[in-house]
Amino acid sequence: MKFKHLEDLRDIHKETEIWVIGAGPSLDDYPLDFFKEKICIGVNLVFSVFLDTGDGLDKFNTRTFYSVISHAEHAYWIAEHIPHFLKNCFFISHPTSMRTYRGRPYCCPEDFNEDPYWIRNSADIDAVKASDTDFVTMAKCIMAGKDTCRYFCRGTSLHWAIEVAVVLGAKKIYVAGAEGGTGFMHKHGSMYLQGTKYKFSHPHWNTGTRALAKAFEPYGIEIVKYYYGTGEQKL
C-alpha cells in the first residue's frame, strides 16, 4: 500500500491564514459561524464539533477543515463512522512496536487505507519532549522544503497541528481553544465528557508554543493565540 505524507500537500494553502483549534473550554465561547470562511485544523476529538457525527446537533461552519490525530481510538472512530473524512486527516505515525504510550493506543499506518496523510518521523517518545533547539532545527528543515524532517511537540498535539499549518503554507497561524490542562469544550456535540480534565498535565506546553513561534519567526510566519471577545494575543 502506498501511504501519503504531509509533505504531499506542501503549500496547498500558501500565504494564507490558518486556524489551529484545540479542545479547551474557551472554544465554547465562539458562535457557530465564526470559522465560516476560515481554514481550520483541529486536534484529536475537535472534529466532533465541526463535522456531522450523527448526533443531530449544530456544528461550527468552516470553509476547510482538517484534523491532526495522535490517538488511535479517535482515528478508528473516524474510519468507522465518517470514513470520507480520512482524506482530510493527518495522523502521527507510530510503528507497530510502539502501540501504546502512557496507556494510549497510537496510530499505525498498516491499520488504515490510503486516504489519511501521515506525519513522518514523529513516532518516538522523545518527539513529545521538544527542546527549543529541536524546534529551531525542525523549522529550518521544514522551510528548506525537505521531506525528511523530524516533527516535534512539547506535550500537546497542537504543536504538530501548527507544524502542519506551516507545511500547508500558512503565513499567519491563529491558535484557539488552547488552554492546556484546564478542561475541555462541551458544546455542539463535543465527544469530550462533561467535567473531564486532562489526565496528564503538560505544564511546559505554553513555553513550547512560544518556542515554536520563535523558531518560525525568522521565516516571516506569525503564530498568535486568539480568544473570542478579546481577540489575538502575542505568545
Res 71 pLDDT > 90: no
The H or E element containing residue 141 is helix 132-143
Mean pLDDT across the chain: 86
Task: Give residue 94's pLDDT.
Answer: 61
CB contact at 8 A, 142 and 5: no
Domains of the chain and any CATH numbers: 4-233 (3.90.1480)
pLDDT per residue as tens digits for the range 94-133: 654 455 545 555 666 667 888 999 987 665 666 678 899 9
Q: Could you read off the pLDDT of 158-209 as tens digits, one per residue?
A: 999 999 999 999 999 999 998 866 678 889 989 886 554 544 445 567 888 9
Residue-level pLDDT at 122: 65
Q: What are phi and psi of 45, to 5 degrees?
A: -80, 5
Count other Cβ atoms within 10 Å, centred on residue 124: 13
User: With 90 as the cut, is the pLDDT of residue 137 above it?
Assistant: yes
Q: Return contacts of 102-105, CB within 8 angstroms, 24+ apart.
A: 102/200, 104/71, 104/72, 104/73, 105/71, 105/72, 105/73
**148 grid coordinates:** 525528511
Provide, rounded to the nearest whole percent, the portion of the chain with pLDDT above 70.
83
The span from the CA of 142 to the CA of 149, in Å, is 6
Q: Judging by DSSP bridges, how do beta strands 117-119 and 89-92 pair with one another?
A: parallel
- Torsion angle, CA of 122/125/131/136, rounded to 10 degrees? -10
User: What is residue 139's three-state secondary structure?
Assistant: helix
| The pLDDT of residue 136 | 97
Q: What percent of the chain has pLDDT over 90?
A: 60
So what's the pLDDT on residue 146? Answer: 94
- Give the global pTM: 0.91
